[in-house]
Structure 1
Amino acid sequence: MSTVEQQLDDLEEQITSELPADISVSSVKYEGPELVVYTRDPKKFAQKGDLIRQLASKLRKRITVRPDPSVLSRPETAREEIMNVIPEEAGVTDLDFHADTGEVVIEAQKPGMVIGRHGSTLRDITKNVGWTPEVVRTPPIESSTVSNVRNFLKQERDERRDVLERVGRQIHREEMSDDEYVRITTLGCCREVGRASFILSTPETRILIDCGDKPGAEGEVPYLHAPEALGAGPQTIDAVVLTHAHLDHSALIPLLFKYGYDGPIYCTEPTRDLMGLLTLDYLDVATKEGRTPPYESEMVREAIKHCIPLEYGDVTDIAPDVKLTFHNAGHILGSAVSHFHIGDGLYNVAFSGDIHYDDTRLFNGATNDFPRVETLVLESTYGGRNDYQTDQEESEEHLKEVINEVAERDGKVLIPAFAVGRSQEIMLVLEKAMREGEIPRMPVHLDGMIWEATAIHTTYPEYLRDDLRDRIFHDDENPFLADEFNHIDGGEEERQDVADGDSCIILSTSGMVTGGPIMSWLSHLGPDPDSSLVFVGYQAQGTLGRRIQNGWDEIPTSEVGAMGDSNGRGTLSLNMEVETVDGFSGHADREGLMNFVDTMNPRPEKVLCVHGDERSTQDLSSALYHDYNMRTFAPKNLETFRFL
């Protein structure tokens, strides 16, 4: 008998001994990080509301209880009883029964009413019908991404269970080494922005954190074939942790499956959905630009199938010697500061991913309160000594001034924006300004993936700022549904109509002007001196956005032609005004990064400054050392740091 089988037998025996005599256990299994207990008495389990919590506390494991398939009522009967339990105003849109696991997935417009106070309605459902309810939100704005992901996971349910059981056995395997060390190897994004990737390794475990591309630098990928990473074989990687969905962190996650990786990806639920949206678009843009995509769309589906979503604050075993906890990073939807607790109190490492320390209109600021952190891996995008951004209120006033000036001369405002995060932030500013009469009411056209990304935001309001979440679901004032917002879905013909029409605002991907529909808008509006191009996000070195920001007023038509809008050699004159409005970045500025470390509880002993150009990482490293007397580093790619 294997060690894991013996573990499960021992756990089943222990659980049985803890339960009342009238509650049976038919089997116990690992599914990913969870321990799943099957019982023939699910209704009795539900009647004793604290029983599962007490078991989880005693065993120190995440526990899910499911009914043995042999005791399930018929779905037709259960459906009627479930609908009698759930309040009508919950807005149930679908019930999906899965007899193999005894679960019923309930999709509702107001999931909180299905859950009930402290889970009371869920317990009532199980008491009445025996099935284990799982609740998901009906997107307020229809989202093809959310729908496709949910349908795909439903179709792949059996295979996904196999994946989870295999992962569960891997997590709970016996520890084999008596050595004690923790190492971090840098595979990308050191003294540069982009291609984020790290290996966190112990004698037992090897974890890959992020795997992104480098904006504006085709072919520069993380050093995945280094001996510390895939050089030793893809199966030597125990887990992948994805901090958030931006392509400089996620674009090459599906490539891992092409190389043969077959393990779990830990991320938040919105990160999973956004990764699917952005990586599929990444492939589409590559094809349109005549480049060979690094992987096929099938690999994106494989990545989604292997995702294990975690919520903020959940302490989760991901290896025999590693626990992972996600915390809000304040950067984009679902972005996470990733905290790793290694060994039995041996060492703690936190990877910031990308962070925004202060509250914004869209998100609460990043969390920096942890039980322990010895080493922090900290982004440094705006870590330079002069990288101070305008505060939010001043930035919003600047943007409104630009819009008013352009409106007075009947021009158009073109804003290159990242589909995820900055677009929604700007949408909230524009909606409020028009509602309060601070700028004229005019159409706001959303091009590229912005509308779809916005729909995903409204699907997961629990990840948004508290007051915004309340507006969306309690006050029936969803700002993203304002009449001014128009989704561009008519392609080039609709863009031409907009360009020929009255004053308006256009938000378009890509945010760094590296491809996508923004190229078409430049060809339409670039020659117009009455219009303005407004940068509201970071423009990486090497991108067309950075070049325009630095004064380029002639764009080679080959750049614009990437979207098929012009052909041949020559240049496109940029006669439109170019403005930069600081303060809307999803990244903390120099002050925010310093404050993040200063107020950390506890403050780390060591900091690795990464994800910034050479000047930014070295400036931030030096400042942290001098101000807080801690050991700091500005590593290069392919360095390994040993702790302990």
Structure 2
Amino acid sequence: MEKHEIEDLESPRRPRQELRRQPDAPVSKVTTESEDEVAKTILQSIPPDSQITNVRFEGPTIALYTKNPKFALTELTYYLSSLSKTLKKRFVIRTDTSVRIAEDATRQAVAKLLPKDVQVSAVFCDDATGEVVLEVSRPEAIDPAMIVQIAQSTGWIAHTRRSPHIPSTSINTIHSTLKSSARERSDFLQKLGTRLFRSPLVVGNGYDRTEEPSSPRPQGWSTNKEEVMLFCLGGVKQVGRSCFIVVTPESKIMLDCGINPGEPSGLDAYPRLDWLNFNFDDLDAVVIGHAHIDHQGFLPALFKFGYRGPVYCTEPTLPLMTLLQMDSVKIAHSNGTYLPYEARDVHEVIKRTITLPYGKPTDISPDITVTLNNAGHIMGSSTVHLNISGAHNILYSGDYKYARTQLLDSAVATYPRVETLITESTYGNSSDVMPDQQFVYRNFTDSINKVLIEGGKVLIPVPAVGRAQEIMLVMAKEMSDGRLVECPIYIEGMISEASAIHMSYAHYLGADVRRSVSQGINPFQSEYFTVISGGKREEVLNDENPAIVMATSGMLEGGPSVEYFKELAPSPKNKIIFVSYQINGTLGRRVLDGNVSEVSMMDKSGKLKVVPVRCQTQKIDGFSGHSDFNQIMNFVAKVKPKRVLVNHGERTKSENVASAIYSRLKIRSGVPDNREIVRLR
């Protein structure tokens, strides 16, 4: 490592010190009030009119069950605000099961209470939480007073979500899974609450350092009371399989759990969990930054292998994760490829996921509070801020865009304190500077027009989540303004459902899009778009007229885009335009780099055929949801960390970012390796 890099980086290639507790050493504890003691304190501090029937720890909150929801949602909130500051805990109000009416009756009652211009598309009652989710045409029309009315009339506390323009299979899967597992989830939340609010262990002199011979894997997890360790299990000096574990004296928190799309299987495809003496019972939580496969694609496998703890992410990330995970299962079954999990494991993820809004600090272990903030990468993407006992703050950037786009607002970069920043470096070369947006749109439009005018077809392979929606907004605007040659724009794959999920959670989109949606405009529907399925694919391909096809996946690794590639690649009049990052090893990267003149692929009958690659190819920079080099530097300068670890980039790009941070900003920086341990404190 270079001189500017971290000096206390520990590696399995070098002897390191292990922390062990002496068998007879005294252990001191900080007293934490029991659930009964907390309940007693609360009940003594609130009016009898609250009609509280039960107080218990549930996940990261204290749940108060009431028979008087109107009082609880109005008057009681003032008392709880004061108690929250005193007890340093968050509260959630739930209704007693005795006051909840049946789901059909709730649907009828809600329909009568809502304004006549608000249409209800779905009503989902969650028995585990006493909450009812209302999918409505105009959620902004339902004010807090209406929520109180619904609670008083039905016994359910309402949450609203915008109705999607088409039904979402993923959202329906989540609803059905939650409904069928209500008792199991209720027990899970109780057990999690007890564990989370457990008495924290304070390590005194009962730990000593003992030398351990060099070993290819760490032999323990222990730390002393001062140490915070970072275990790098994937995603450094590469793009793909992002996964880290933060270890403190109290906690073990996993950040992301992805796969490497450029690797079919084996040690290079998945996080290096094999490197640890890994006991899933020791893991307090998994935090997922966003829904892309390279950050969450291995998550269901954790549950297959025995993990039963919580997963934290933002509200839209759960349905987007479900969409992509289920699609991975479908593709694996269709292609006969290996995937380390099944659909049932995806359902286990759903059962144990706790969604959080942006900007809400939440305890996820006795000594760690997490806050998720907008990362500007895709809808629901978040930076992950971990406050460890108020003494050390880690900001894990995940993938972020430190600039506004058509779809999203810029990543949040204002934090009171950050000791360690873990930043991505996908576009980390000094020359990786994105052009002006108007230039990008003009270049994109001109590139497509040349092909269409000459009678060819344009294939745009896109990730279903993020880039697809951005490109749809741009093409609809360019075509309506007359700059893009008018022709059919075919949308295939998961794009339509992903767009429906975007509409359901439109309040997570950028300010301009939110404004349009609130005015009744669906930005993902246009007269120029034609949604097709596999059965109509041949009609599109056999039509000799020029057309644009948007299809998943974005790296030509399975999905409809590969089927279009087989038919369009042999003709030089067609063109493939790449608008997203192409990971090393993927077919998209090989085609883009010009490293292949032909590709062996399976035809419809299952026979191997050779596909010549004669089509035009082009990468349009500027649509990426990642920060370019200048944006990375500006983000780091704004955050002002004391040290920086660089990940999620090819080795040369990560090293360039680390070097620039040190030389320009005078901040200690480094690039760890996979299977390396970093002592953060």
- Do the structures match in fold with TM over 0.5? yes
The aligned counterpart of 1:61 is 89
**Does structure 2 conserve the Cα–Cα contact (< 8 Å) formed by 1:267 and 1:309?**
yes
SS in structure 2 opposite 1:428? helix
Where do residues 373-452 of structure 1 align in structure 2 (5 Å cutoff)? 373-452=418-497
The aligned counterpart of 1:592 is 631
Paired AA for residue 658 in structure 2: S
The aligned counterpart of 2:355 is 309
Residue 592 of structure 1 and its aligned partner are, at CA, apart by 1.0
SS in structure 1 opposite 2:263? coil
Would the alpha carbon gap of residues 289 and 38 (structure 1) be closer, same or farther in structure 2, given more than 3 Å must change?
same
SS in structure 2 opposite 1:125? helix
Residue 228 of structure 2 corresponds to residue 182 of structure 1? yes
SS in structure 2 opposite 1:324? strand
CA distance in 1 between partners of 2:561 and 2:605 (Å) = 11
SS in structure 2 opposite 1:359? coil
The aligned counterpart of 1:502 is 545
Listed as ranges, the gaps of 5+ residues in structure 1 are none
CA distance in 2 between partners of 1:5 and 1:342 (Å) = 17
Residue 180 of structure 1 and its aligned partner are, at CA, apart by 2.5
The aligned counterpart of 2:607 is 567
TM-score where L is the length of structure 2: 0.88
Residue 496 of structure 1 and its aligned partner are, at CA, apart by 4.5
Whose helix proportion is higher, 1 or 2? 1
Match of 2:373 among 310, 327, 336: 327
Match of 1:191 among 233, 237, 243: 237
The aligned counterpart of 2:562 is 519
Paired AA for residue 247 in structure 2: S
Residue 642 of structure 2 corresponds to residue 605 of structure 1? yes
TM-score where L is the length of structure 1: 0.93
The C-alpha deviation readout for 1:463-501, integer Å capped at 9, x for no partner, is 1111101212x222212110211222143x523433433
**Does structure 2 conserve the Cα–Cα contact (< 8 Å) formed by 1:382 and 1:616?**
yes
SS in structure 2 opposite 1:323? strand
User: Percent identity between the aligned chains?
Assistant: 37
CA distance in 2 between partners of 1:296 and 1:537 (Å) = 28
Would the alpha carbon gap of residues 28 and 578 (structure 1) be closer, same or farther in structure 2, given more than 3 Å must change?
same
User: Which deviates more from structure 2 when the two are superposed, residues 301-310 or residues 6-15?
Assistant: 6-15
Match of 1:39 among 40, 61, 66: 66
Where do residues 247-396 of structure 1 align in structure 2 (5 Å cutoff)? 247-343=293-389, 345-396=390-441
CA distance in 2 between partners of 1:263 and 1:331 (Å) = 27
The C-alpha deviation readout for 1:544-594, integer Å capped at 9, x for no partner, is 21221122452222xx32x6477335x322222111111111111111111
**Does structure 2 conserve the Cα–Cα contact (< 8 Å) formed by 1:109 and 1:140?**
no
SS in structure 2 opposite 1:599? helix
SS in structure 1 opposite 2:158? strand
Listed as ranges, the gaps of 5+ residues in structure 2 are 1-29, 204-224
CA distance in 2 between partners of 1:11 and 1:330 (Å) = 39
* C-alpha RMSD of matched pairs (Å): 2.2
Would the alpha carbon gap of residues 82 and 510 (structure 1) be closer, same or farther in structure 2, given more than 3 Å must change?
closer
SS in structure 2 opposite 1:591? helix
CA distance in 2 between partners of 1:304 and 1:21 (Å) = 37
The aligned counterpart of 2:10 is none
The aligned counterpart of 1:125 is 150
User: Which deviates more from structure 2 when the two are superposed, residues 42-51 or residues 288-297?
Assistant: 42-51
**Does structure 2 conserve the Cα–Cα contact (< 8 Å) formed by 1:43 and 1:128?**
no
Residue 111 of structure 1 and its aligned partner are, at CA, apart by 2.1
Paired AA for residue 637 in structure 1: N
**Does structure 1 conserve the Cα–Cα contact (< 8 Å) formed by 2:45 and 2:79?**
no
Residue 268 of structure 1 and its aligned partner are, at CA, apart by 1.0
SS in structure 1 opposite 2:274? coil
The aligned counterpart of 2:673 is 636
**Does structure 2 conserve the Cα–Cα contact (< 8 Å) formed by 1:40 and 1:67?**
yes
**Does structure 2 conserve the Cα–Cα contact (< 8 Å) formed by 1:496 and 1:524?**
no
The aligned counterpart of 1:619 is 656
CA distance in 2 between partners of 1:242 and 1:461 (Å) = 20
Would the alpha carbon gap of residues 275 and 81 (structure 1) be closer, same or farther in structure 2, given more than 3 Å must change?
closer
Would the alpha carbon gap of residues 496 and 83 (structure 1) be closer, same or farther in structure 2, given more than 3 Å must change?
closer
Residue 102 of structure 1 and its aligned partner are, at CA, apart by 4.4
**Does structure 2 conserve the Cα–Cα contact (< 8 Å) formed by 1:4 and 1:173?**
no
CA distance in 1 between partners of 2:31 and 2:179 (Å) = 28
CA distance in 2 between partners of 1:280 and 1:75 (Å) = 28
Would the alpha carbon gap of residues 288 and 99 (structure 1) be closer, same or farther in structure 2, given more than 3 Å must change?
closer
Residue 82 of structure 1 and its aligned partner are, at CA, apart by 4.1
**Does structure 2 conserve the Cα–Cα contact (< 8 Å) formed by 1:361 and 1:428?**
yes
CA distance in 2 between partners of 1:168 and 1:628 (Å) = 42
The C-alpha deviation readout for 1:162-220, integer Å capped at 9, x for no partner, is 11111111111111233132111100111111110001010110011111111221222
Residue 319 of structure 1 and its aligned partner are, at CA, apart by 0.3
Would the alpha carbon gap of residues 459 and 618 (structure 1) be closer, same or farther in structure 2, given more than 3 Å must change?
same
Taking CA–CA contacts closer than 8 Å with sequence separation of 6 or more, which of the two structures ends up with the larger relative contact order?
Answer: 2
